[in-house]
Amino acid sequence: MDTWTLLLEGFATALQPVYLLYALLGVLLGTAVGVLPGIGPAMTVALLLPITYALEPTAAFIVFAGIYYGGMYGGSTTSILLNTPGESASIVTALEGNKMARAGRGAAALATAAIGSFVAGTIATVLLTLLAPTVARLAVSLGPSDYFALMVIAFLTVGALLGDSAWRGMVSLSIGLFIGLIGVDSLTGQARFTLGIPQLGDGIDVVLVAVGLFALGEALYVGSRLRNGEIPIIPITRGWRTWMRRSDWARSWKPWLRGAGIGFPIGSIPAGGADVATFLSYATERSLAKGEYRKQFGKGAIEGVAGPESANNAAAAGVLVPLLTLGIPTTATAAIILSAFQTYGIQPGPRLFDTQPALVWALIASLFIGNAMLLVLNLPLVGMWVKLLQIPRPYLYAGILVFAGLGAYAANFTVFDIAVLLVLGVLGFFMRRLGFPIAPLVVGAILGPMAEEQLRKAMQIGQGDPAYLVHSPFSIVAYALLALIIALALWLKRRRARFEAALPSIDTTTIAAVDEEIESHEPHPELDRGRLSTRAVPLQRGGADPDAEPGPGRDPDRDRDA
């Protein structure tokens, strides 16, 4: 059967009402947690791992796919509308998007982010559909030494490219590898680092590692220095149909496509994930912009939102290529999804497309469906999500702790795991305080045992000769590429750090003035659209008058400062 037949069958599965509901649940959860500050997709998937104990695999992966894509959409809303630094994957969006919002163009920024995410997400999912079966076919011939090479790439790129410095990433990675070693060795039956505690014999459950470091560690860390008082949310206008001006569309569509083109390949090679892709897209858009548009960069240029947001989503789809076809996770979220596969006894890899075609194609089909749902959820209904930003933080983080406890307890139903979780949570807490990245640790803990298995297999085949590890052309090319990727990415990272350090702070009136000047040259100037409406969203929880919501469509304040 060819790809399209299989994909259609996948749609037949994913379009069943119950699976549509699971997809909706996934994208709702994903967007919610993407919007909520402090919660990322990695943490959400970790917190929801317990559902794998109860749901059948197809349903569980449709939920996870929804969360995965949804988290990417939600993050941009937060970084555009909240006037504080956000997550690193969307920080480039905050660069321009937040400035646009401050100049009263937040709605346009949200719209170009959502539509761009949809366009790029769809293109990237099509590419995934076309590419994944081919990669899987090629990967069938890979031997243990090739896999080991791929895993080393994943380790070193994730470790070296995240966080303040490469060495801090390596520290985090080696702690993760160590956690992965704890337990009885599967090949020789010898206990390693169990300290004689019987509960550690099976090793530390991956759920505990993920939940402890992401959920508990984050909750403790945020709790220790929780921001007092309100975080100002920048209000947006009502009437989403008029959010984007004619000129916004004209300026956005090319960055969307370029973002997809940049994001997908970078996502599918292990090169530090979405971070690198968004920055590359931003740099590209800035250098391609002409004249006055270029001068607007740093002062709310819409290209600087459209491109990176598309790149971000396309990279998210790209990450699924190595995950599904090789079983190699290149981000923390992908590593946790991989462990969910393992909970079901399913091993992602080249054989996955042969052994579990129904599951894989339903999953891919649900990515298309989820993407379409997300566009609806994020354009007309964006106001609903903005209200989520007003959840009182004490309750939000206390709720995260409850779900962390649930995840830990449901793994084995022993309270011993609560203690293990707390130890890991405290470790995550200090790592965050002291500038060690978390993702390498999680990737190391999940991928480490698999890498050791492949290494031992390879050594067995090679009869103990280490040279066997580099005997195949594939592994030689892989190691050469590794050096290249790391060198390039470190250079890019340095450039990005310099760039971010050099950014001047600009006041809101300048941003608005630049925007108005540009718009007045347009053939069809639409100056008054996207004006600030202070009433669309109450600024303060409980403080604003609930009756002050204006009727749909018209904004009473639109001429106020025109």
Within 166-205, the residues that bind another protein by CB under 8 A are: 167-168, 170-171, 173-175, 177-178, 181, 185, 187-193
CB 490 within 8 A of CB 166: yes
Distance CA(402)–CA(275), nearest Å, equals: 30
Nearer to another protein by Cβ, of 242 and 412: the residue is: 412
Strand, helix or coil for residue 82: strand
Count of Cβ atoms closer than 10 Å to residue 389 Cβ: 17
Site for another protein in 460-479 (CB under 8 A): 460, 463-464
Closer residue to another protein in complex, CB, 192/531: 192
- Report in angstroms how near the CB of residue 509 gets to another protein at its nearest: 19
User: Distance between CA atoms of 549 and 401, rounded to whole angstroms?
Assistant: 35
Handedness of CA 403, 408, 270, 63 (dihedral sign): negative
Buried b (16+ CB within 10 A) or exposed e, 411-450: beeeeebeebbbebbebbbebbeeebbbbbbbbbbbbbbb
List binders of another protein among 364-393 (CB under 8 A): 392-393
Q: Which is nearer to another protein, 127 or 486 (CB)?
A: 486
For residue 232, state whether it binds another protein (rule: CB under 8 A).
no
DSSP three-state, residue 207 = helix
Q: Which lies closer to another protein via its Cβ, residue 43 or residue 244?
A: 43
Of the ranges 334-342, 378-386, 452-460, 507-515, which one interacts with another protein (CB under 8 A)? Answer: 452-460
Q: What is the 3-state secondary structure (H, E, C) of 119-156?
A: HHHHHHHHHHHHHHHHHHHHHCCCCHHHHHHHHHHHHH
Instruction: Provide the mask over 399-418, with x wherever binding to another protein is found by CB under 8 A and - wherever it is not.
Output: x-xxxxxx--xx--x-x--x
Tell me the CA end-to-end span of the chain in Å, nearest whole number. 61
Task: Pick the closer one to another protein by CB: 216 or 486.
Answer: 216
Return the residue of 18, 140, 419, 527 that touches another protein, per CB under 8 A.
419
Decide if 321 contacts 132 (C-beta within 8 A).
yes
Of the candidates 64, 36, 110, 79, the one whose C-alpha atom is nearest the C-alpha of residue 377 is 110
Q: Nearest approach, Cβ of 440 to another protein (angstroms)?
A: 10
By C-beta, is 121 or 163 nearer to another protein? 163
With CB under 8 A as the rule, give the number of residues binding another protein.
Answer: 90
Residues in 497-526 that interact with another protein by CB under 8 A: 500-501, 503, 505
Q: Which of 90, 119, 561, 538 is CA-nearest to residue 317?
A: 119
What is the smallest separation between the CB atom of 117 and another protein, expressed in angstroms? 20
- Return the number of the residue (132 or 443) whose C-beta is nearest another protein: 443
Q: How far is CA 152 from CA 148, 455, 471, in A?
A: 6, 10, 16
- Residues 34-63 binding another protein (CB under 8 A) are 37-38, 50-51, 53-55
Which residue from 6, 65, 80, 91 is in contact with another protein, where contact means CB under 8 A?
Answer: 91
Q: Which of 434, 507, 524, 545 binds another protein (CB under 8 A)?
A: 434
Q: How far is the CB of 266 from another protein (least distance, A)?
A: 21
Phi-psi region of 413 (alpha: psi -120 to 50; beta: other; left: phi over 0): left
Rounded to the nearest angstrom, the gap between the alpha carbon of residue 119 and the centroid of all alpha carbons in its chain is 17
Round to whole Å and give the CA distance between 154 and 551.
52
Task: Count CB atoms within 10 A of the CB of residue 186.
Answer: 12
442 binds another protein (CB under 8 A): no
Contact letters (x/-) for another protein, 253-292, by CB under 8 A? Answer: ----------------------------------------
Candidate residues 17, 395, 551, 562; the one interacting with another protein per rule CB under 8 A: 395
HSE value, Cβ hemisphere, 13 Å, CA-based, for 277: 36
Closer residue to another protein in complex, CB, 192/558: 192
Shortest Å, Cβ 200 to another protein: 13
Query: Who's near 444: CB < 8 A, 6+ residues apart?
Result: 155, 159, 172, 173, 174, 175, 176, 177, 179, 180
**By C-alpha distance, which of 327, 268, 300, 332 is closest to 89?**
332
Among 200, 219, 317, 338, interactor with another protein by CB under 8 A: 219
Q: Work out whether 84 is an interface residue with another protein (CB under 8 A).
A: yes
**Least gap, CB of 10 to another protein (angstroms):** 25
Distance of closest approach, residue 38 Cβ to another protein, in angstroms: 5
Residue 57 or 261 having the CB closest to another protein: 57
Nearer Cβ to another protein, position 7 or 113?
113
CB of residue 543 to another protein, shortest distance in Å: 15
Q: Which is nearer to another protein, 398 or 548 (CB)?
A: 398
Could you give the CA distance from residue 275 to residue 282 in angstroms, rounded to a whole number?
11
Q: Which is nearer to another protein, 423 or 513 (CB)?
A: 423
Q: 55 or 379, CB closer to another protein?
A: 55
Please give the helix or strand (H or E) that residue 479 lies within, else none.
Answer: helix 473-501
Six-digit token string for 114? 């959502």
Is 313 within 8 Å of 274 (Cβ atoms)? Answer: no
Take residue 126 and report the two structure tokens written for it.
């099509």
Taking the complex as a whole, the smallest distance from the CB of residue 167 to another protein amounts, in Å, to 4
- Encoded tokens for 230: 């309100």
Contact 84, 65 (CB under 8 A): no
Q: Binding segment for another protein among 122-130, 272-280, 370-378, 457-465 (CB under 8 A)?
A: 457-465
Q: In sequence order, which residues have a C-beta less than 8 Å from that of residue 291 and are 6 or more positions away?
A: none
What gap in Å lies between CA 163 and CA 172, rounded to an integer? 10
Of positions 141, 224, 355, 540, contacts another protein by CB under 8 A: 224
Name the residue nearer to another protein (CB basis): 240 or 397.
Answer: 397
List binders of another protein among 106-165 (CB under 8 A): 163-165
